Amino acid sequence: MKPRENLDTIHAAALEVFADYGFKKATLEDIAAALGMTKANLYRYARNKRDLYENTVRWALLRWQARVGEAIAGERDVERQFRVMCRKAVEYLSGDAHLSRLLMRDPEIFPMFAEQDPYADINRASMAMIRRILERGIAEGRFRTVDLASVPEILFSIYKMFIIRMYIRTKDRPLDSMFAQTVELLCRGLVLPEPPGGPAGEPQASRRRP
Amino acid sequence: MKPRENLDTIHAAALEVFADYGFKKATLEDIAAALGMTKANLYRYARNKRDLYENTVRWALLRWQARVGEAIAGERDVERQFRVMCRKAVEYLSGDAHLSRLLMRDPEIFPMFAEQDPYADINRASMAMIRRILERGIAEGRFRTVDLASVPEILFSIYKMFIIRMYIRTKDRPLDSMFAQTVELLCRGLVLPEPPGGPAGEPQASRRRP
DNA sequence: TCATTAGTGAACAAAATATTCATTTGTTCA
DNA sequence: TGAACAAATGAATATTTTGTTCACTAATGA
């Protein structure tokens, strides 16, 4: 038998099937068929159906997180870093058709909205990333000294933007402008009015109304 | 109990559920729940699940057909009538979210493509409408004397346009221009080069390349 | 060769689901 | 009012699905 390189193939297939049918209606045989193998073999990769599901979501969320991380790695200026983080987070989340469909389909498991979030650790990682940006912004004197307890709220905003984007996708609303406005609002609470002498990073164009 | 007016409500709900899950994964309980009643009661309106499915598709297709019929009823000029028929047929077919999703989901039952089409009668009605237009066009001297055996092929073209439109919907391709081109091609085979003295209807703008 | 990993087929208990039917709940109208 | 009728239900049943296990086979690598 051809050895299967890694779990990625299984997770990718499972993600698609779960996104198509939701947890309940998706069957292990659907997933196995998509992979060209029998359902019994799936038990080598997950203890049971629920496990396969959670592992899959976890895998997809981590991939999403990693992409956002890469996107902001190149940014030198904190303000830009913050903006890119917000934009990319929503972009990738709604861009990955399967992940977004999955998150919309089984709302009871949507991170941060479930009674007890099975993906709390992943959200924690996201929040750590946000916190790092805030801390750096504050240290560089670019951001106000905000309470770091507001970090979860920023992540929450991002999810909210994603949901809105998903639900109104069919209509051709000027969503991106609405989205930009939200990011703008977040920034206005963060970024200091005018950096006195120009700090570490080169002066970024930060459109702000007078 | 409140008496239920007619079958429309049941069919509408069934259409939505079947479109969401496909025939196999949709359960009678899903449909009943959507209607706020118990599945047992569904058997008052259809002999079994398959029956409910076929009745529902039939109902949706007939509604679609009726709308196209209304749309062309107002047109005086045959050429315009033909164009409107093509355009509206695809528009309504892909516009009715549930119907289109349903037709895409269970391809084996897609009219004209199934081994033995359970909706042959409805297609026949559509073809009768097309034939009436052709006959009128020929009688008025606006159309070439085409073989009426080509009627099914025109209906087939319409379905084909619909399918393409559905599959590429996500990408923002200039679909409507592609679509218009197809109609143009159909027309070019039909409409006579130049009506000598101007026939019954007022002269319609029929964009044709030299 | 042996050890290890990947995969299968059959079997089974539990759950889901289509279908039936006797009964209940409203509605209509004499 | 109450008889006749239609709409809907709850429970029961027969049949499939489906999640899960396990003994067993096939391929790979050293």
- pLDDT tens digits for B16-42? 899 888 888 999 999 999 999 999 999
Question: CA B29, C1' D7: Å apart?
Answer: 18
Task: Determine the average pLDDT of the residues in B50-54.
Answer: 91
Identify the weakest region by mean pLDDT among A27-36, A100-109, B115-124, B182-191: A100-109
Chain A residue at shortest CA distance from B169: A170
Chain B residue at shortest CA distance from A24: B25
Q: Is the CB of B181 under 7 A from strand C?
A: no
Structure tokens, A205: 């164009």
**Residue ranges of the alpha helices (H) in chain B?**
7-25, 28-35, 39-42, 49-73, 78-95, 97-105, 120-139, 151-167, 175-190
Q: Which of A17, A23, A25 to mutate to test the interface with B (most CBs of B within 10 A)?
A: A25
CB pairs under 8 A between A and B: 4
Nearest-CA distance B27 → chain A (Å): 10
User: What is residue A173's predicted lDDT score, i.e. its pLDDT?
Assistant: 43
Identify the weakest region by mean pLDDT among B36-50, B95-109, B136-150: B95-109
Three-state SS at A27: coil
Is residue B161 pLDDT above 60, yes or no? yes
Residue type present at position B176: D
What is the band of B105 on the pLDDT scale with cuts at 50, 70, 90? Answer: low
**More confident: A200 or B184:** B184
User: What is residue A12's predicted lDDT score, i.e. its pLDDT?
Assistant: 93
Is residue A111 pLDDT above 60, yes or no? no
Task: Determine the average pLDDT of the residues in A190-206.
Answer: 54
User: What is residue B204's predicted lDDT score, i.e. its pLDDT?
Assistant: 42
Cβ atoms within 10 Å, residue B102? 25
Structure tokens, B174: 């200039």
User: What is residue A203's predicted lDDT score, i.e. its pLDDT?
Assistant: 41
What is the band of B113 on the pLDDT scale with cuts at 50, 70, 90? Answer: low
% of chain A beyond a pLDDT of 90 = 38
Is residue A206 pLDDT above 70, yes or no? no
User: What is residue A152's predicted lDDT score, i.e. its pLDDT?
Assistant: 81
Is residue A132 pLDDT above 90, yes or no? yes
Most confident listed range (A46-50, A156-160, B170-174): A46-50
Task: Determine the average pLDDT of the residues in A16-33.
Answer: 92
Three-state SS at B187: helix
Nearest-CA distance B113 → chain A (Å): 24
Q: Which nucleotide lies closest to A38 by the C1' atom and the CA atom?
A: C8
Each domain of chain B, given as residue ranges in start order, spans 7-190
Q: Is the CB of B38 under 7 A from strand D?
A: yes
For A58-190, CATH number out of 3.90.740.10, 1.10.760.10, 3.40.50.300, 1.10.357.10 equals: 1.10.357.10
Q: Which nucleotide lies closest to B29 by the C1' atom and the CA atom?
A: C17
User: What is residue B136's predicted lDDT score, i.e. its pLDDT?
Assistant: 93
Identify the weakest region by mean pLDDT among A102-106, A136-140, B177-181: B177-181
Q: Is the CB of A209 under 7 A from strand C?
A: no
Identify the weakest region by mean pLDDT among A62-76, A109-123, A164-178, A185-199: A164-178
Is residue B57 pLDDT above 70, yes or no? yes
Evaluate whether A122 touches A61 at the Cβ level (below 8 Å).
Answer: yes
For B7-190, CATH number out of 1.10.620.20, 1.10.357.10, 1.10.287.1770, 3.40.50.300 equals: 1.10.357.10
Is residue A52 pLDDT above 90, yes or no? yes
User: What is residue B201's predicted lDDT score, i.e. its pLDDT?
Assistant: 43
Beta bridge partners of B143: B191
What is the band of A192 on the pLDDT scale with cuts at 50, 70, 90? Answer: confident
B25 chain-A contacts, CB cut-off 8 A: 21, 25
B21 chain-A contacts, CB cut-off 8 A: 21, 25
Q: List the nucleotides on chain C closer than 7 A to a protein CB.
A: 5-10, 16-22, 25-28
Is residue B170 pLDDT above 50, yes or no? no
Inter-residue long-range contacts of B29-33, CB under 8 Å, 24+ positions, other chains counted = none
Evaluate whether B108 touches B114 at the Cβ level (below 8 Å).
Answer: yes
Task: Determine the average pLDDT of the residues in A131-146.
Answer: 90
Three-state SS at A200: coil
Mean confidence (pLDDT) of chain A: 78
User: Nucleic chain C: which protein residues 38-57 of B have CB below 7 A from it?
Assistant: 39-40, 43, 47-50
Rounded Cα distance, B199 and A91, in Å: 57
Rounded Cα distance, B141 and B135, in Å: 10
A25 chain-B contacts, CB cut-off 8 A: 21, 25
Is residue B98 pLDDT above 80, yes or no? no
Chain segment A173-182, per-residue pLDDT in tens: 445 556 666 7
**DSSP string covering B91-150:** HHHHHSHHHHHHHHH-GGG-TTTSSS-TTHHHHHHHHHHHHHHHHHHHHTT-B----GGG
Nearest-CA distance B68 → chain A (Å): 24
Is residue B195 pLDDT above 90, yes or no? no
Closest CA to B165 of B94, B107, B96, B109: B94
User: Nucleic chain C: which protein residues 12-31 of A have CB below 7 A from it?
Assistant: 25
Three-state SS at A102: helix
